[in-house]
Amino acid sequence: MPTQSTSSPEPLLKVDNLVKHFPIKKGLLQRQVAAVKAVDGISFDVRAGETLGVVGESGCGKSTMGRLITRLLEPTGGTLEFEGKDITHLGVSAMRPMRRDVQMIFQDPYSSLNPRHTVGTIVSAPFKLQGVTPEGGVKKAVQDLLSLVGLNPEHYNRYPHEFSGGQRQRIGIARALALRPKLVVADEPVSALDVSIQAQVVNLLDDLQDELGLTYVIIAHDLSVIRHVSDRIAVMYLGKIVELTDRKSLYEAPMHPYTKALMSAVPVPDPRRRGVKSERILLQGDVPSPISPPSGCRFHTRCWKATQVCKTQEPPLIALKTGHQVACHHPENAPDQVPGETVPAAAREVVQVVSVTKAVPAEVAEPAEVTESSEATEVAEVVESAEAAEATDSSETADGDDIAAPSSDDAATPSGTAEDSPKE
């Protein structure tokens, strides 16, 4: 998919200051007492032909964002433009023609397919809903779609329970592609699948993009999957986009401290780097509640670079380099946005930095050592080397879960996909 990037002057989808607040109501009168600020003012473009990856911890608003841009949810604020047309508040009938162009693939291939309908009924539903009669008839179109996604067209009359998880996801993909959409939003398309199947589905999405000229927004918490599929990546934290740039810049030189912490947990699928020591930043504490997010920069309660200004002023998402947008007062690899505000906070307990030896099997790994090289060392609690060794021993996973790191199994897939992919 990364080979698909094209630059189009007009974005396919333009999202401006999009907001979704879910009201919390209480009492007999069901008065609104608060709101879950699931998406709280995000702006980005999706260019025709590209894959935009969206990552972030659980609960940061990724799925809500996906449902907003496919108009399965009504936005609380902001605007959405598809091919230059404002679709923010279109009603059901006005949205119908647009539904052909924008489709969604859901995370769970088990619950997203009606168990009482045959595959033929499921995949042909979009034709019926839109009143479209494809050339050669619906049955032939459905069978062609089943072949396209690697399923046996003869299985037209089978039920979802007769298929494996990966095959069910292929059925979901066939349904999404029935009307040849322009934009496909895939919400965690492989996370419910067995590791060995994930690579197949990722590669299928990749091939279909080539074949049908699709544009993807792919939501995932697995950074290795996102790395494989994306041209550009948006990193979300508590309802906000904190960094948005191309894949290479994000993985090689992340500028937002949160992204840096996320990236530090990604295993490097490079045999030449066996034994290379690197630091993992383990964020402490839970993600704050989206009902009352922290003032200023929402990440300041967990950020080792936080200063006073971070607590009071929200950093805007701005381009600090060409094509690299960051929302941070004190970004990595760039001059501070707020000169003179560089004294680190006394929040020394907010992160841990552990030194881990990447990509080395446990039996040959030397006990990992604690390093003191990082700037973060001075503001971080450094764990004992025994703990670091444990981190290495456990294939770099358990602790990383704190910051949505992929599990070792998860990690194995995308590196596999990268190697398996004919394009990479």
Ligand X SMILES: Nc1ncnc2c1ncn2[C@@H]1O[C@H](COP(=O)(O)OP(=O)(O)OP(=O)(O)O)[C@@H](O)[C@H]1O
Positions in the binding site for Mg ion (CB under 5 A): 63
Q: Is 38 in the site for ligand X (CB under 6 A)?
A: yes
φ and ψ at 162, to 5 degrees?
Answer: -85, 5
The mark string for 208-237 relative to ligand X (x by CB under 6 A, - otherwise) is -------------x----------------
Q: Give the tokens for residue 389.
A: 């060794």
* Residues 104-163 contacting ligand SF4, CB under 6 A: none
Q: Is 281 in the site for ligand SF4 (CB under 6 A)?
A: no
Q: Is 298 in the site for ligand X (CB under 6 A)?
A: no
Which one of residues 36, 174, 306, 405 is an interface residue with ligand X (CB under 6 A)? 36
φ and ψ at 206, to 5 degrees?
Answer: -60, -50
Return the one option of ligand SF4, ligand X, Mg ion, none that residue 300 interacts with (CB less than 5 to 8 A, by type): ligand SF4
What is the phi-psi region of residue 18: left when phi exceeds 0, alpha when psi lies from -120 to 50, beta otherwise? beta
252, with CB counted inside 10 A (0-12, 13-18, 19+), is exposed
The mark string for 317-346 relative to ligand X (x by CB under 6 A, - otherwise) is ------------------------------
Which one of residues 63, 198, 200, 421 is an interface residue with ligand X (CB under 6 A)? 63
Identify the helix (H) or strand (E) that includes residue 227: helix 223-229
Q: Of 106 and 258, which has the nearer Cβ to ligand SF4? A: 258
The mark string for 330-349 relative to ligand SF4 (x by CB under 6 A, - otherwise) is x-------------------
Return the one option of Mg ion, ligand X, ligand SF4, none that residue 290 interacts with (CB less than 5 to 8 A, by type): ligand X
* Residues sharing a CB contact under 8 Å with residue 325, sequence separation 6 or more, in sequence order: 241, 243, 244, 245, 317, 318, 319
| Buried-state track 321-341, b at ≥16 Cβ within 10 A, e below 16 | eeebbbbbbbbeeeeebbeee
Q: Give the tokens for residue 112.
A: 């997203």
Return the one option of ligand X, ligand SF4, Mg ion, none that residue 22 interacts with (CB less than 5 to 8 A, by type): ligand X
φ and ψ at 209, to 5 degrees?
Answer: -65, -45
Residues forming contacts to ligand X in the complex (CB under 6 A) are: 22, 36, 38, 56, 58-64, 221, 290
